[in-house]
Amino acid sequence: MRAMARGSGRPLLRRVAWLYAVLLVLTAAGVALAFRQGLVPPFINPLPVIDLAEGRPALVDWRLASIRHYPSACTRTLKAPHIEAQQIADGQMHDGCGWSNAVRLVSAGGVRAPYDKLTCETAVALALWLEHEVQPLALEILGQRVAAVRSLGSYACRNIRGDPFWSHRRSEHAVANAVDIAGFALADGRVVTIRSHWRSEGAEGRFLRQAHAHACPYFRAALGPGYNAAHRDHFHLDRGPFSRCR
Comparing C-alpha atoms, which of 148, 150, 170 is closest to residue 158? 170
pLDDT of 7: 55
Tell me how far apart the alpha carbons of residues 60 and 39 are, in angstroms, rounded to a whole number.
15
Phi and psi at 28, nearest 5°, equal -60, -40
At 20, the pLDDT band (50, 70, 90 cuts) reads confident
Note the pLDDT tens digit of each residue in 68-77: 999 999 999 9
- For residue 162, what pLDDT is reported? 76
Confidence band of 4 (pLDDT split at 50, 70, 90): very low
Mean pLDDT value of segment 125-137: 98
pLDDT for residue 232:
95
**0.85 exceeded by the pTM?**
yes
What's the mean pLDDT when you consider all of the chain? 92
Q: What is the mean pLDDT of residues 187-194?
A: 97
Question: Can you tell me the distance from the alpha carbon of 219 to that of 122, in angstroms, rounded to the nearest whole number?
Answer: 8
Burial state string for 203-212 with b = 16 or more CB within 10 A and e = fewer than 16: ebbbbbbbbb
